[in-house]
Structure 1
Amino acid sequence: MGKTLLIVESPAKSKTIEKFLGKNYAVAASMGHLRDLPKSQFGVDVENDYTPKYINIRGKGDLIKKLKTQAKQADKIFLATDPDREGEAIAWHLAHIFNIDTEQICRVEFNEITKNAIQQAIKQPKKIDLDKVNAQQTRRILDRIVGYKLSPLLWRKVKRGLSAGRVQSVAVKIICEREQEYLNFKPQEYWTFTVSLSKNDKSKEFTAELVKIKDKKLHIDNQGAAEKIVAELKNIDKYLVENIEKKEKRRKPAAPFTTSSLQQEAVRKLGFTTKKTMMLAQQLYEGLAIGKSGHMGLITYMRTDSTRISLQAQAEAKEYITSVFGAEYYPSKANVYVGKSAAQDAHEAIRPSDVTKTPDLIENYLTKDQYKLYKLIWQRFLASQMAPAISDSTALTIRAQDYLFKSNGSKLKFMGFLVLDSKRDLDKDVILPELEVEDLLKLRSVPEPVQHFTEPPPRYNEATLVKELEELGVGRPSTYSPTIQTIIDRGYVRREDKKIVPTELGILVMDLLKTYFKDIVDVNFSAKLEENLDNIAEGKADLIHVLDEFYRPFAEKLEYAEQEIGKVEIQPIVSDVQCEKCGKMMVVKQSRYGSFLACPGYPECKNTKPIINYIDVPCPLCQERVGEFKTKKGRRFYKCTSQTGCEFMSWNKPSGEKCPDCGSYMTEKIDKARRTVVVCANDKCNKEIIK
C-alpha cells in the first residue's frame, strides 16, 4: 500500500490524528487558508461574473513549497479541513495548489477527533462540495465589496483606519439603537404589596402577593394610594382561600450547545469573552495530551448551528447515565432537539467526544479555563440526555374583599437532570401549608408597601448581543466573536462594566450609514443575504445572481454618497485638565480599553493621562484621595493617587470603616447571594459583615 497524505488545518490537530493512523499515513497542516484575495487591490472582476483573483497569501510560500514536496511523495492525498463552508473552501484551494481535479474523491470530513471517527472518515472519502465552496466565495466577495468600497469612503470623509462590514455594521446599529432606548427611558413608579398569612396562630406563616383590586390588574403608582391600600388591608378580617391548583411540573433539560448558545452561556456563567470561548473550544477540539491516553480531541466541532446528536453518542450517554445515576434518570424515549433551520444541520451539536472522560477525571491535564469550558460542555450534553426534573407545584388564590392575592409553592420530588448541578440549593423549595378551599386565614403582618421603578432595556453584553444577532438571522455564530472584536478595535463600541456601549465615533458612522447605505445596516436585508448564502450552499441559488442583486444598487449609492458627504469633523471633548508639558487643555480620547486624556498637540506633544474616577472614601493608609481604575481586561481596582509613594491598592472598594475585631481597614465586595459584604483586609482576621 502506498503512502497517503492527510492535510488538516492546524498542527495541534495533526498531532492528535497521527496516532490514530498507521505508518502508511502522513499528516500535515495547512495552517488555515493558503490562498485569498489580494490585500493591495480589489481582486474581484465585477464586470466578468464577479470572478475573484486569488493569490498565495504572503508569508505562506515556504509552507506551500513544503506541502507540495510532501504531496509528490504521496500516492494519495486526502483533504481533511474543517467540516464547514470555510473548511470546504480551504480544501478547494488546496486542490488547486496540488492540481487535484474537483471531481476526484479526495475530501474527508469528521466531526470529532477520535480514533473511530477518523478511521470511519478515511473509509468514506467524497468529492469537494462545490455548492458549499460557492457559498463561502459569495460571502468572501460580498465582504470584499463592502469593505474595499465603503471603508475608503469612511477614511476620506471621517477618519483613517475606519472600516465597514455587513455584519459589523448591523451589530453597531443594534447597539446604538439600544443605547438610545436606554438614554430616552423614563422610569415609571409602581408599588407592590406582600402580606403574611397563616391558618391559625400556631401554624407556619407564608406570604402572598397582591395581584388584583376589584378584578383589575394591580397598578399603583404613588405613595398616597399605596398607604391607603395598606390601611384597608389591616382592617379586613377575612382572608379566604378561593382556589387551590395543584400540578405536577416537568422541567426539561436544555438542548446541547450550538456555537451561539455556548458563547452565551460562557459569558453568563464563566465571564469569558466570545473570543476567549472560541479559542478554548478550538483547543479542546483539536486535542490535548491526556495522560496515558495521549493526544485526543475532547469535544466535537465547535462551529455548528445544530442541536442534533448522533445515535452512537446517544447510546454512550444512555449507558453512562443509567450506570452512574440509575435507569430512572434516563427518559423513556431519547430526547431529540429540533434546530431552527436545517441549513446548517450537517454537524452534531457541541458535545464531549467521550462522555466517560468526566471533567474531574481529566482536570489535571487541562488549564483552569480549559477545564471550566469543558465542564460546561460536558454537563450541558449529559443533562440534555437525561430525564426531566419533576416538581409538585401549588398555586393559591386568596381573596380579601376587593383584593386578590396569589401564593405559589413548589417542592422538587425528582431531581432528574438537576442531579448534575452541584450548586443547586434544595432549600429553594417553597412549602405551603395544607389548605382547602373556603379556609379562613389569619393576617399576621402587612409590611410597608415597596416602591419600585421600571428599568430601561439593559445594554447589551456579549451574550445578549450574540443572542440578538442569532435571533435576527444576521451573520453566523462562527462570525460573532470576530465581529465583536472588530467593532471594539475600530473604536465604534467599548466595553463598560461588561456591557457594550457605542462611542461617539460609532454613533457618527452609524448615522452616515443609515443615511446613505440603508441596506447595509438593515437587519432584514442582512438576514435575507444570509438566507441566500444558505440557498447557494444547498444548490438552490446562483452565486452570480445573488452578487449582482447586491452590487448594482450598492455601487449607485456609493457614487451618490461620494458626492453628497462633505468632510465630517469629529469634535473632541475638551477636559478641564491642563497638559503639564505644553499647557494645552487635554481632550478625551477612546481606545478599546475605554476613555483616556490626551494632549491635542499630538504629534508634537504625546502626553496622555488616565481619567480618574475618585471615590468618596479616603485612602485607609494615608488619607489621600483614592481613584477607581481598570485593567486592560476591564477589571476594576482601587489605588491611592497620592504622589508621596503610598502603595495602597485593592481589588475591592475600601469601605471607610475599621474592623471591630482587629482595627484594620475594611473593603466591600458582593457575595454569591448578590449581597454587599464588608470584609476585613487583614488576612489573619477576615471578619465579614453583611450590609
Structure 2
Amino acid sequence: MSKLVIVESPAKAKTIRKYLGDGYEVTASMGHIRDLPASQLGIDVEHEYAPQYINIKGKEKIIKELKSEAKKADQVYLATDPDREGEAISWHLAHILGLDVDQANRVTFGEITKKGVTEGMAHPRTIDMDLFNAQQARRVLDRLVGYKLSPFLWRKVRRGLSAGRVQSVAVRLIVDREKEIEAFKPQEYWNLDALLSPPASQKKFSARLYGTAAGKKLEVKTEAEARAIEAALEGRDYQVTKLTRGSRKKVPAPPFITSTLQQEASRRLGFTATRTMRAAQTLYEGVDIAGRGTLGLITYMRTDSLRVSDEAVAGAKDYIAGQYGEKYVCNYKRTYKSRNATAAQDAHEAIRPSVPGLTPEEAEKSLSGDIAKLYRLIWSRFIASQMSDCEQDTVAVQVTAGDYQFRASGYVVTFEGFTALYEEATDEKEKKETSLPPLEEGQVLKLRELTSEQKFTQPPPRYTEATLIRGLEENGIGRPSTYAPIITTIIDRGYVEREQKKLKPTLLGRTINDLMLQEFPDIVDVTFSADMEKNLDQVESGRVDWRSTIDTFYKGFDAALQKAEKDMEGKKVKVPDEETDEVCEKCGRKMVIKTGRYGKFLACPGFPECTNTKRLVKDTGGKCPKCGSRMLLRRSAKGRVYYGCEGYPQCDFMTWDEPVPQQCEKCGATLFKKGSRLYCAKEGCDFETQVTK
C-alpha cells in the first residue's frame, strides 16, 4: 500500500521522509492553498458570515500535483503544523482532495524526530473542527475589520493605510507610552553615599543614606538639603548598628514559550520577532547534523504551554549529571504555571531541544548564524530549567552616623546551581548589590569619602520589541504567533519607527491612533480586545459557536463604521508634517519630512511655489576623521543605516560603525563604536577602549 503524507514545507518533508521509509510518499503544500480572495471582502455577511474561499493564485501547479499524488495513494495523511493554522491548512487540503473530514487522516508531530514522527503516525485523528473554527473565526474577524476600516482610512487620510484588530491596539500602546514620556515632569533628588571601610582593613564598600537614625525614610530633594546633611555629618562616627545575615535561593526561568523566546532573543541577541520565528521554524523542521543526519532540533515553536515531557526532563538531568555532577541536578520535578491557564496552544510542550544531549557545541559544527545562536539559547534555557537552585548568603548592614542612617546590602554565591549555565536577561537595569567586607555589630567604621549626586526621576522607557510583546501578552492581546507579523506591519505602514531598538510612534501613527480613538474606541480598547481574544479561545475549546462570536462583534462594529462615515462626511484628516532645522536654501523656509514611494525625504513646505527636495540625513554630532566635516546618518538603497561625511563626494569617508559623543584621549577626534569597543578612526591614531556603561 502507498501512503501519502502532506506537510507544509519541503524542509519538513525531507526530514519526515527519512523516518518513514518505504511505502510512504511525503510532499509539501507550500503553506496555505486556499484563502479568502485578495480583491474583495469574501465574507457573506448576510448568510452567517460564510467565508468564500478560493484557491490561491499561483498554487495551480501544486494543487494539480497534490491531486495526482492523492489519487494514486491508498491512504492520505494530513501532517501540517500542530496549531490553528496547520489545522486550517489540513481542512482546506481535505476539501480540495475530496477527503472525508470524519476519517482519522490527521497526524501531528510535536517534534520532528524519529520518536516524534513514529508517535504521530501511530495516533491519527479526525480534523479538529473546533481548532479549525477558531482559526476561521480569527480570519473572518480580521478580514471584516481590515477590509471595512482600511478603505475608510484611505478616504479620510490617505491610501496605503490599514487598521487591524491587534495592530491598532499595539499602535495605541506605543502612542500612549510616548504621551506618558512627553507629559512626564522630572523631579530632582539627591543621593548621598558614604564610602566606608572596617578598621585596619583596606576593603571599602559603599552605603547609601536611607533616613534618620530612628529608621524614618528621607527624601533629599534639593542641593541645599544635601549640603545640610553633609554639614551635620561632619566629624561623626559611622557605626554598624544592625547586621542581618540570611540565605536565599534563586530559581531558574522556565523553558521558553513563543512570547518569551521572542523577548529573550530580542534582549540577548538583538533579533526581531520575525527573525526569531524564521530561525525557530528551520530548527523545528529539520537540519542536517553531522553524525546524526537530518533532525528537527526543537519542539514546535508556537506554544503557550510550559509543560515538559518526563522523557525530556530525564534526558536533561542525565546531561547535567554527566557534565556538572549530581549536585547540579534538580532533585524534584519542576512544574511551571502558564500565565494563560486556558492558553490556545497548550496542547504542545514548551519549546525545548528535541534531543537534550545534543549540545550547542556539537550542533554548531553543522549550524551557523541565527540558527546556531537560537539553538544555543533554547538549549541553555531548557537545560538550566532542570538544574538546581542558585544558593546565596546575604548580608544587610545599617550604619548610623549622628542623626542619620545609611544602608548597604550584598550577597555571596555559595552554590552557583543553574547560573553556571544560563541566567535570564532583563529589560530593566537592576540596582547592583555591593560586595561587603567582614563586618560586626557595634563596629566603628572609617569614612573614606562622603559624596552627593544630583539625580532626576526618569520617564517610562519607550517600548522595545521585547517589552511590547510582553505588554501585549500581559494584556491578553492577540496570540504570540501573531506578534512578529503585527510588529512588522505597524513599522511597514509607517505608524511606528525603530530608533536605537526603541519603538517610537510617527506623526502618521499618532494621527491614525487619534482617529481610531475618536471613531472606533472599541477596536483600540485594550480590555475590549482582550475579551474578544477570550471569546475566540472559547471557540477553540468548543464552548462557543464561532458565528455568534463574529455576530456579536460585527453588529457593534458596523454601527460604529456607519456613524464614522456620517460624522466625517466631506472631511479629511491631515497628517502634520514633521518640521526640521534644515533650512531650504531656495526660499529660507524650514524643511519638513515627507514620506514618498521610496521612503522619507526632506521637502520645502512652500510647495508648489518652491519644489526643493533633499535626501533625508541626520547629524550624528560626530566629526569626520579625514576632513573634520559633520558625520551624517544615511541609509543605503536597501535601507541599511551607515555614517558618511557631509563633504561627499569630495570626502569619501564612510563607516557602518556609529559615531559617539566621546572624544579620543590621544588626538581629540570623534570615536566610533563597534560592538563593545570604541576606537579612533583618524589615520595614524591607534586609540581603543571599551564601552563604559
Q: Deviations over 1:335-384 (max 9, x none)?
A: 11111224331101111111121111121322222111111111001001
1:588 to 570, 587, 593: 593
Deviation at 1:91? 0.8
2:458 alignment partner in structure 1? 455
Deviation at 1:582? 12
- Assess, with a 3 A threshold, how the Cα gap between structure 1 residues 659 and 235 changes in structure 2: closer, same or farther: closer
Q: Deviations over 1:37-70 (max 9, x none)?
A: 1112211112221111111111111110100000
1:403 alignment partner in structure 2? 404
2:428 alignment partner in structure 1? none
Alignment of 1:488-637 (within 5 A): 488-565=491-568, 566-573=571-578, 587-590=592-595, 595-598=600-603, 609-630=614-635, 637=642
Q: Deviations over 1:564-589 (max 9, x none)?
A: 11222234346676779999985412
Q: Please give the secondary structure, in 2, of the residue aligned with 1:81.
A: coil
2:297 counterpart of 1:293: no
- Structure-1 separation of matches of 2:585 and 2:454: 49
**Amino acid in structure 1 at the alignment position of 2:651:** C
Q: Please give the secondary structure, in 2, of the residue aligned with 1:193.
A: strand
2:255 alignment partner in structure 1? 256
1:232 alignment partner in structure 2? 232
- Assess, with a 3 A threshold, how the Cα gap between structure 1 residues 232 and 452 changes in structure 2: closer, same or farther: same
Q: Deviations over 1:203-238 (max 9, x none)?
A: 63322111122533221111011011111122322x
- Structure-2 separation of matches of 1:422 and 1:540: 40
Alignment of 1:110-121 (within 5 A): 110-121=109-120
- Structure-2 separation of matches of 1:262 and 1:28: 30
Contact persistence 1:670–1:677 (CA under 8 A): yes
2:317 counterpart of 1:312: no
- List alignment gaps of at least 5 residues for structure 2: 426-431
Which deviates more from structure 2 when the two are superposed, residues 593-602 or residues 489-498? Answer: 593-602
- Structure-1 separation of matches of 2:253 and 2:424: 17
**Amino acid in structure 1 at the alignment position of 2:399:** I
- Assess, with a 3 A threshold, how the Cα gap between structure 1 residues 687 and 101 changes in structure 2: closer, same or farther: closer
Deviation at 1:308? 1.0
Deviation at 1:657? 5.6
Contact persistence 1:411–1:430 (CA under 8 A): no
- Assess, with a 3 A threshold, how the Cα gap between structure 1 residues 407 and 91 changes in structure 2: closer, same or farther: same
**Amino acid in structure 2 at the alignment position of 1:456:** P
Which deviates more from structure 2 when the two are superposed, residues 62-71 or residues 598-607? Answer: 598-607
Q: Please give the secondary structure, in 1, of the residue aligned with 2:451.
A: coil
Deviation at 1:397? 1.9
- Structure-2 separation of matches of 1:568 and 1:535: 38
- Structure-2 separation of matches of 1:233 and 1:407: 18
- Structure-2 separation of matches of 1:121 and 1:689: 52
Task: Report the TM-score when normalising by structure 2.
Answer: 0.92
- Structure-2 separation of matches of 1:474 and 1:240: 53
- Structure-2 separation of matches of 1:5 and 1:435: 74
- Structure-1 separation of matches of 2:453 and 2:336: 42
Alignment of 1:324-335 (within 5 A): 324-335=323-334
- Assess, with a 3 A threshold, how the Cα gap between structure 1 residues 687 and 100 changes in structure 2: closer, same or farther: closer
Deviation at 1:540? 1.0
1:216 alignment partner in structure 2? 216
- Structure-2 separation of matches of 1:363 and 1:256: 21
Q: Deviations over 1:15-48 (max 9, x none)?
A: 1111001110111111111111111221111222
- Assess, with a 3 A threshold, how the Cα gap between structure 1 residues 644 and 51 changes in structure 2: closer, same or farther: closer
**Amino acid in structure 1 at the alignment position of 2:36:** L
Q: Please give the secondary structure, in 2, of the residue aligned with 1:295.
A: strand
2:646 counterpart of 1:641: yes
1:435 alignment partner in structure 2? 439
Which deviates more from structure 2 when the two are superposed, residues 620-629 or residues 410-419? Answer: 620-629
Q: Please give the secondary structure, in 2, of the residue aligned with 1:448.
A: strand
- Assess, with a 3 A threshold, how the Cα gap between structure 1 residues 87 and 618 changes in structure 2: closer, same or farther: closer
Q: Deviations over 1:161-218 (max 9, x none)?
A: 1111000000001111000001111101111111122331446332211112253322
Contact persistence 2:290–2:365 (CA under 8 A): no
- Assess, with a 3 A threshold, how the Cα gap between structure 1 residues 683 and 141 changes in structure 2: closer, same or farther: farther
- Assess, with a 3 A threshold, how the Cα gap between structure 1 residues 171 and 658 changes in structure 2: closer, same or farther: closer
Q: Please give the secondary structure, in 1, of the residue aligned with 2:99.
A: coil
Contact persistence 1:655–1:666 (CA under 8 A): yes
1:365 alignment partner in structure 2? 366
Contact persistence 1:618–1:656 (CA under 8 A): no
- List alignment gaps of at least 5 residues for structure 1: none
**Amino acid in structure 1 at the alignment position of 2:355:** D
1:93 alignment partner in structure 2? 92
- Structure-2 separation of matches of 1:262 and 1:688: 33
2:58 counterpart of 1:59: yes
Which deviates more from structure 2 when the two are superposed, residues 616-625 or residues 324-333? Answer: 616-625
Q: Deviations over 1:44-99 (max 9, x none)?
A: 11222111111111111111010000001110011111111111111111111111
Deviation at 1:607? 7.8
- Assess, with a 3 A threshold, how the Cα gap between structure 1 residues 53 and 422 changes in structure 2: closer, same or farther: closer
- Structure-1 separation of matches of 2:675 and 2:19: 48
- Assess, with a 3 A threshold, how the Cα gap between structure 1 residues 555 and 207 changes in structure 2: closer, same or farther: same
Alignment of 1:9-158 (within 5 A): 9-158=8-157
1:394 alignment partner in structure 2? 395
- Assess, with a 3 A threshold, how the Cα gap between structure 1 residues 268 and 654 changes in structure 2: closer, same or farther: closer
Contact persistence 1:680–1:687 (CA under 8 A): no
- Assess, with a 3 A threshold, how the Cα gap between structure 1 residues 392 and 679 changes in structure 2: closer, same or farther: farther
Q: Please give the secondary structure, in 2, of the residue aligned with 1:225.
A: helix
Q: Please give the secondary structure, in 1, of the residue aligned with 2:19.
A: coil
2:476 counterpart of 1:473: yes
**Amino acid in structure 1 at the alignment position of 2:232:** E
Q: Please give the secondary structure, in 1, of the residue aligned with 2:291.
A: helix
**Amino acid in structure 2 at the alignment position of 1:669:** K
**Amino acid in structure 1 at the alignment position of 2:371:** Q
Contact persistence 2:3–2:77 (CA under 8 A): yes
Contact persistence 2:257–2:304 (CA under 8 A): yes
> Identity of aligned pairs, percent?
49
Q: Please give the secondary structure, in 1, of the residue aligned with 2:602.
A: strand
**Amino acid in structure 1 at the alignment position of 2:183:** N
Task: Report the TM-score when normalising by structure 1.
Answer: 0.92
**Amino acid in structure 2 at the alignment position of 1:667:** L
- Structure-2 separation of matches of 1:364 and 1:83: 30
- Structure-2 separation of matches of 1:68 and 1:687: 65
2:673 counterpart of 1:669: yes
Q: Deviations over 1:492-546 (max 9, x none)?
A: 1111111111111111111111111111001111111111111111111111221
Deviation at 1:445? 2.6
Contact persistence 1:593–1:632 (CA under 8 A): no
- Structure-1 separation of matches of 2:240 and 2:581: 65
- Structure-2 separation of matches of 1:177 and 1:591: 27
- Structure-2 separation of matches of 1:633 and 1:236: 65
Deviation at 1:476? 0.2
Which deviates more from structure 2 when the two are superposed, residues 583-592 or residues 414-423? Answer: 583-592
Cα RMSD of the aligned pairs, angstroms, is 2.9
2:216 counterpart of 1:245: no
